[in-house]
Amino acid sequence: MRPFFLLARLRDSRRASLLLFAATLATLVVAAIWFVNARSALADAYQRLGERNQSLSEAKVREQETRLRVDYANSSRQLLASARAHGLAPDIWGERLINLRQSQMSREEALPLLATVQRAPDRLFGAEAFEIAVTHPDEGLFDPPDSADRKPAPLSLTLRGSLLFQTANDPGTHQGTSSP
């Protein structure tokens, strides 16, 4: 019966009721402030987590790019070693890019140009695109016109690629001598 008596007395005492109400209200205000702060801290934590996840993703991408660069460097070293093992010293070769697109030229002009891209011991040509065609329907590529009254029509030439040529003599490669 004692708790019932305490509640009855509290109901009768106005001052005690107000104190209890004030304490409850203060506790509620403190709890509300704590809740707002905790919710704000949670939002900040989620934001930091998102930023960290973004940083982690970027770091993984950079790591993958770095691994690819390392693999590329390793394959470059292996390629250079293989070239040297086969007698190709990369430091004695130069490169010239050739890019002719649908160029019109006579057969006499085309012949020396085609001779320069022909493989020889001191030069190699890696063609990306090669096309040669006659521009007149009555002419053949390998048979020039026999007509003396008209000049042969020009050829259409497309040639794109890399011409590698020796810039220095290497006694052990491609010159007919062997290494000691």
Q: What is the distance between the alpha carbons of residues 42 and 49, in angstroms, rounded to a whole number?
A: 10
> Is the full-model pTM beyond 0.75?
no
Give residue 176's pLDDT: 41
Give residue 39's pLDDT: 96
Q: What is the distance between the alpha carbons of residues 121 and 113, in angstroms, rounded to a whole number?
A: 17
User: In the chain, what's the furthest Cα-to-Cα distance?
Assistant: 137
pLDDT bucket at 170, cuts 50 / 70 / 90: low
pLDDT tens for each residue of 1-51 = 576 776 677 667 777 778 888 999 999 999 999 999 999 999 999 999 999
Q: What percent of the chain has pLDDT over 90?
A: 33
**DSSP 8-state class, residue 1:** -
Hey, which residues does 162 pair with through a beta bridge? 97, 126
